[in-house]
Amino acid sequence: MSSIRIKAKERNGSVDVKTLMKHNMETGLRKKKDGSKIPEHWITDVTAESGGKTVFTAAFNTSISKDPYLAFKFAGNKGDTLKISWKDNTGKTDSAETAVK
């Protein structure tokens, strides 16, 4: 299962997008019991595409909460496909697609 959950709803030509990504977002500041630091591990880039166009991109820092939530709005129509993908600092990526309701 994809790590991304997307809700996209169209209203008056504007698509309201809400998305939740499952990711630990380690800051690199937390310590384990033995005092060693847990290495940082976080989503660096998020991209949203619809109809072959990039409609939104964001760069995250480690100060974004665990399991990041992101909401934005773009001009689109019902039935458009919306693809959201992320990339983290270890090079891992994931993506999910949904149809605009």
Partner 1 sequence: MDRRSILKIAGTISAAVAATAAFPRIVFAAYSQKAFKNPSVEDSLNQLFGSNATTPSDDIKLKAPDIAENGAVVPIEVSTSMKADQIAFMVKENPNPLAIVANIPAGTEAMVKTRVRMGKTTQVTAVVSSNGKLYTASKEVKVTIGGCGG
The Cα 70–Cα 50 span in angstroms is 16
Q: How many Å separate Cα 23 from the centre of its chain?
A: 9
Q: Which of 48, 73, 69 is nearest to 58 (CA)?
A: 48
Q: How far is the CB of 68 from partner 1 (least distance, A)?
A: 7
Dihedral sign for Cα atoms in the order 48, 52, 53, 59 = positive
Considering CB under 8 A, how many residues would be counted as binding partner 1? 30
Q: How far is the CB of 97 from partner 1 (least distance, A)?
A: 18
Q: How many Å separate Cα 13 from the centre of its chain?
A: 23
Q: Which of 64, 44, 47 is nearest to 56 (CA)?
A: 47
1 to 40: interface string for partner 1, x by CB under 8 A: -------------x------------x-xxx---------
Q: How far is the CB of 18 from partner 1 (least distance, A)?
A: 8
Choose between 1 and 59: whose C-beta lies nearer to partner 1.
59
52 to 81: interface string for partner 1, x by CB under 8 A: -xxxxxxxxxxxxxx-xxxxxxxx------
Q: How far is the CB of 6 from partner 1 (least distance, A)?
A: 14
